[in-house]
Amino acid sequence: SQTIHQWPATLVQPVGSPLSLECTVEGTSNPNLYWYRQAAGRGLQLLFYSVGIGQISSEVPQNLSASRPQDRQFILSSKKLLLSDSGFYLCAWSGTGDPYEQYFGPGTRLTVT
Amino acid sequence: AQSVAQPEDQVNVAEGNPLTVKCTYSVSGNPYLFWYVQYPNRGLQFLLKYITGDNLVKGSYGFEAEFNKSQTSFHLKKPSALVSDSALYFCAVRVPNTGNQFYFGTGTSLTVIP
């Protein structure tokens, strides 16, 4: 069966510090991968998605970036965090075909102080 | 543009009563439809999906949803609510052959009152 991992679970970082969040998927190959941010426990904002190694689509211009160095690894980064980057970050994967649904990781709670 | 609407931010229901969480969508093409549940500080958990076929689909934890093409709706239902069903529920749409994006509603907070 497939599993998706995210780490760290929680992170407190000062403004201006760098960020690296990692997501890995097991048990499938060539997944579509996604990064979302959820603010105040409500709506999901799609940040990036990837259909293959090195292929990244950015949905919202901001000081975040994403990379996919391996088929089942998706990394969210920032060079300098802003207060507004605080939130709950969720990684997800889906199949190109079946399974058509997304499966989400446990999330990372980021607090920028 | 593709969009998903969950018209109710909050739904309250008494334990043992039937529950409905509403979802409507506006997409070009024939959508795939999904429901997810989120508990506090957790990732979203897949509940059920409609891809094709029977309009009534059944999912985890006794939940079901009915696809209504004419009303472009996909309401989530459960015959008898449990206190443990209290959570945040998201409806989502994926349009095949138009890319790999999913479009989410803004979520409905369900509270089941003992």
Condensed to tens digits (0 to 9), the pLDDT of residues B70-109 reads 999 999 999 999 999 999 999 999 987 777 789 999 999 9
Alpha-carbon torsion (A73, A38, B31, B67), positive or negative? positive
Q: Residue A46: is its pLDDT beyond 80?
A: yes
CA nearest neighbour of A21 among A10, A31, A32: A10
List, as ranges, residues 1-60 from B with C-beta within 8 Å of A. Answer: 32, 34, 36, 40-46, 49, 51
Domains of chain A: 3-112 (2.60.40.10)
* pLDDT recorded at residue A47: 94
Condensed to tens digits (0 to 9), the pLDDT of residues A15-44 reads 999 999 999 999 999 999 999 999 876 889
Least-confidence region, from A6-20, A49-63, A80-94, B9-23: A49-63
Q: At which residue do the structure tokens 């990781």 appear?
A: A105
Residue pairs spanning A and B at CB distance below 8 A: 55
Comparing alpha-carbon positions, the chain B residue that sits nearest to A33 is B100
How far apart (Å, rounded) are the C-alpha atoms in residues A73 and A69?
Answer: 6
Comparing alpha-carbon positions, the chain A residue that sits nearest to B90 is A43
Domains of chain B: 3-113 (2.60.40.10)
**Chain A interface, mutation test: which of B45, B104, B108, most A Cβ atoms within 10 Å?**
B104
CA nearest neighbour of A21 among A70, A96, A88, A103: A88
